[in-house]
A and B are shown apart, each in its own frame.
Chain A
Amino acid sequence: MKRLLLTAGLIQALCVGEPVQAATCSCAGAPVLIYLDTTAVEKGQFFLSYTAEDHQINDLVSGSQDVPDETGRDRSTFSHVLSASYALSDYWSISALTSYVEHERKIGSSFFPKARSSGMGDSVILLRYTPFFITPFRRHELSFGAGVRAPTGENEAADFFILSEDMQPGTGAWGGIAWASYSYAFNQAATVQFHASANYLHNGENDRKYTLGREYNLASGFSHSLNSRFGYSALLRYRQSDPDRRFGFELPNTGGEWLDFVPAVRYSFTDRFSAALSGRIPIWRDLNGALQFTTSYSWAVSLRYGFR
């Protein structure tokens, strides 16, 4: 009860690039992993959560420099993510999520000023092993996880033509995930905790011969439960993504490095039902190529219900 249930944000979102060589868009994909519930659970516990995220992708960046955008562009992704976790035992648990994604892009000076797509996004299933966890008698928690991202989403959405990869609700490719996290409780009630995590995402090739870049993520931060109702957390998240590939060739203006600040607040209505509000604010980035559109900010609302 005393433990802040906000470790979900320790895994970075999938990154979907665009297969053209102009100013492309990084991190435009649905947040398939970021809202995966990775909270340690006791045997028999079941958690369900729903998250809605608004992701604005309008910053134009050259390397690490912001560039004024004069195209009148407006690019956003709205995602609905449903996730579930079940503890098979005190040490083993399984988490899964699926998503529904809505993309929208407006370009003022373009012949096709508006593009929209929506549909089922990809799904993820993750098996987690927690050899030791925080209890009233232990301050440390360590978890390892491995899983797959399944191409359950639509990836042939079209306007006049098939839309670019970053406008597709799904990636169309399988992916593999390896993940580890560590938490330390500063007091016996575990109301103040330090969190650190690392994960790796390997992306396969889809049927249009497009491969998203491999991703490496590191995150660390603190969470604090003020009482049984209110809590907050603050994380720093670093992400490095390799360039995307088409037919095995690297695409310029895709991939790079990002450092984001991820604040979140949580309110528990009961000991089973809680809501959280979180954001993602870019601090620094150094992106590949001459120009890339990337995250301006994102915010999300989550509802979570747990039972046995």
Chain B
Amino acid sequence: MVSVRYFLLTLIFCFSPLSAADGTAPILEGDDVFSGRAVRLSDYRDKVVLVDFWASWCPPCLESLPAWEALRQELGPRGFEVIAVNVDENTSDGLDFLRERRVRYPVLADPEGRIGIPWGIRTLPRYFLVDTQGNIVSDHRRFRSRDVEGLRSEILELLHSKTH
């Protein structure tokens, strides 16, 4: 009976929640697939940046792209930017989609995980909000259109704290 008690205590200990710490964003650099312009996250230190990892085979990711475009159009003048990282094995699959639904923010191609692995990408969708100091302040693993308003508030808060 004592051993059963130890077993149950071990169970409780093992299932105690651990905190997930946010930290400095890993390196993110590459060329924009459309303009060929070099893009570095570190060049956006004065902006709040949404880093979005996506692929053409991920329906929620495709749904999110126009939402990011709309957010950028609205909040871009106040210091918000989006950097998208396409992880399709065949980058042309992602480009085909973008030709139909053009976005104005930079899109990098990462078919081999040069960017995605350091960012810890295991599943899609996955997007991060990075503050003006280059720190990841939030990490998202699902996209629903009703979540955009919450994300918008979060961005506005970061932009507000940037100006104060």
Contacts and interface: CB of A to CB of B under 8 A. Distances in A.
Contacts of A155: none
A188 B60 contact: no
B25 interface: no
Given A125-B10, A125-B11, A151 B122 contact: no
B116 to A, nearest CB: 6
B112 to A, nearest CB: 6
Contacts of B125: 1
Interface string B143-157: 000000000000000
Residue picked from B14, B18, B120, most chain A C-beta under 10 Å: B14
Contacts of A152: 4, 7-8
Interface string A251-289: 000000000000000000001000000000000000000
Interface in A134-188: 134-138, 148, 150-152, 174, 187-188
Contacts of A308: 20, 141
A43 B7 contact: no
Nearest to B88: A188
- Interface of A: prevailing SS: loop
B11 A271 contact: no
B87 interface: yes
A212 interface: no
A189 B58 contact: yes
B67 to A, nearest CB: 17
A90 B15 contact: no
B15 A1 contact: no
B141 A188 contact: no
Contacts, number: 80
Interface residues of B, number: 30
Interface in B116-148: 116-117, 120-125, 141-142
Interface residues of A, number: 31
Contact of B7 (A88, A125, A271): A125
Contacts of A174: 3
Given A96-B11, A96-B15, A308-B141, A133 B122 contact: yes
B110 to A, nearest CB: 8
Contacts of B66: none
B142 to A, nearest CB: 5
Contacts of B55: 136, 188-189
9 contacts: A42-B122, A84-B15, A136-B55, A137-B112, A138-B113, A150-B4, A152-B4, A152-B8, A308-B141
Interface of B: 3-4, 7-8, 10-11, 14-15, 18, 20, 55, 57-60, 87-89, 112-113, 116-117, 120-125, 141-142
What are the 6 closest A-B residue pairs judged by CB atoms, nearest first? Answer: A137-B113, A189-B57, A150-B7, A136-B87, A94-B14, A135-B122
